Amino acid sequence: MKRIQLGNTVFEGRNDAYVLGAESGTTALVDTGVATDDAREQFREGLGEYGLTFADVDAVVLTHWHHDHAGLAGEIQAAGDAAVYVHEDDAEMVGSEEASHEVEIDRRGLFDDWGIPEKKREELLDFLELHEEIRGETPTVETFADGDRFEFGDAELEAVHLPGHAAGLTGFEFAGESGTELFAGDALLPKYTPNVGGADPRVEDPLGAYLDSLDRIIRNDYARAWPGHRDAIDDPTGRAREILSHHRERTERVVSVLRERGVADAWTVSADLFGELSNIHILHGPGEAYAHLDHLDREGVVAKTDEGYELREEDPDLDAIFGDHGVSAEAE
């Protein structure tokens, strides 16, 4: 396995793409990076170090639909007729030119539901339109499901569905030097906590889905994880537990905001959590707040009203909510 790191000033920092099977005659990529001139040139140079070009790629396996992971898939496919694989829940977002964040925001009425102010709506839409070119060419995709296996020469992968950040986000298990390792995409990042709620508005109960995905990573106890951004994670189980604790702490903050304000929508809660928001964070901030509010609603801790969310319990037992995920006040 070879790693190619690509510059990315739009999202979470350096993107990682992984090259598999080249030594055994079948070349596959895990993710492709964003479709910008800089990333494209870096990718060509990175492949060139291994004597490869876009046309030599036989298959592209995507961890999820976001453009900084799938942006160059169509161009690579066009160069050499590579197969492009994506989880069935993300197939439309990668394989359809009409699918986009903007379409999903409008379809679900999120601007009104989350209470995003008019000027901030315009700023977000301008940002998304300005960066539409990072999407790249639309590929023809083939779908897979959880548990499906791929063989690319001497490289074997097994799909591990890890939704939350995106509906179809999938990691790929493989036999590494130190044991069973994982291409984690954005399910697990070494520096940031992956956004839930705003990163993919299609996800049902985004926080709950993501907590379950973190549980799965912990149960599988991988020897190492290779994320979609930055550097390898040598203790994936420990990192997953850190992120679980982070979300418990954020839930406590959300409860505190409602306790102080009485009733608040997702935008108001996000302002208390994150302060002033701009660009993509106009979506990610209230989306994250919504993910926590919605999960608390499902747990009966808050209730959604026409004005926003209000507490049903002044002092909820968060251990009861997070205890199934191995996180408690004592554990922190």
pTM of the model: 0.94
pLDDT on residue 332: 36
pLDDT on residue 187: 98
- Residue 206 vs residues 153, 213, 238: alpha-carbon distances, Å: 36, 11, 22
Cβ atoms of residues 147 and 159 within 8 Å: yes
* Fold observed for domain 2-96+137-238: Metallo-beta-lactamase; Chain A (3.60.15)
Any bridge partners for residue 310, and if so which? 263, 303
Residue with tokens 């707040």: 289
Q: Where are the domains of the chain?
A: 2-96+137-238
What is the 3 state secondary structure string of 106-175?
A: HHCCHHHHHCCCHHHHHHHHHHHHHCHHHHCCCCCEEEECCCCEEEECCEEEEEEECCCCCCCCEEEEEE
Tens digit of pLDDT per residue, the chain (332 long)?
A: 999 998 765 555 688 999 998 788 899 999 998 998 989 999 999 999 999 999 999 999 999 999 999 999 999 999 999 999 999 999 999 999 998 888 999 999 999 999 999 999 999 999 888 777 788 999 999 999 999 999 998 899 999 999 999 999 999 999 998 899 999 999 999 988 999 999 999 999 999 999 999 999 999 999 999 999 999 999 999 999 999 999 999 999 999 999 999 999 999 999 999 999 999 999 999 999 999 999 999 999 999 999 999 999 888 988 888 877 755 443 33
pLDDT on residue 221: 97
Task: Give me 64's structure tokens.
Answer: 């999820």
Rg, C-alpha atoms of the chain: 20
Q: Terminus-to-terminus CA distance in the chain, angstroms?
A: 36
